[in-house]
Amino acid sequence: MRALFLTALAGFAAVAAVAVAQPAGQSHPQTPATLCLDGMGVNHPVICHSQTASRFASPPDICSCSGPYRQVDAPYCAKGQTAPADTADFDHARAKAAEDGSLIGDSYRGKPMCVELRAGY
């Protein structure tokens, strides 16, 4: 149970780590988020490397997946929009939708398969 909780926590932290600060005037990042999915559609932590060490606007981080996970691009949710609830049914739908390497344009029960930004971004 503890391992499951820590895995879920690491997954949420990884999704949050992908969301980087954007210059003023942009409502959300222009580049897609990177997700690392296993064969069942479960999201695992991404490994990101910053290109600069500055407080000012910088290029997006370079993120990749390690191990057997498939790297998938996903759109960020629009302002006021929420991602679908993370359930086993959603994971299976996400795995099927990610077969082309992208979740851009895919939806689940009427909601886009998007990644929410952290608060403040």
Per-domain boundaries in the chain: 2-112
CA atoms of 65 and 45, how far apart (whole Å): 8
Residue 74 host element (H or E): strand 70-74
For 115, the token pair is 């990644």
- The pLDDT profile of the chain, 121 residues, written as one tens digit per residue, is 555 444 444 444 444 444 433 334 445 567 888 999 999 999 999 998 877 766 776 666 788 998 899 999 999 999 889 999 999 999 999 999 999 999 999 999 999 999 988 655 4
**How confident is the model at residue 115, as a pLDDT?**
92
CA atoms of 40 and 93, how far apart (whole Å): 9
The sign one gets for the Cα dihedral 84, 9, 28, 98 is negative
Q: Under a CB-based contact definition with an 8 Å cutoff, are residues 82 and 114 in contact? A: no
**How confident is the model at residue 2, as a pLDDT?**
52
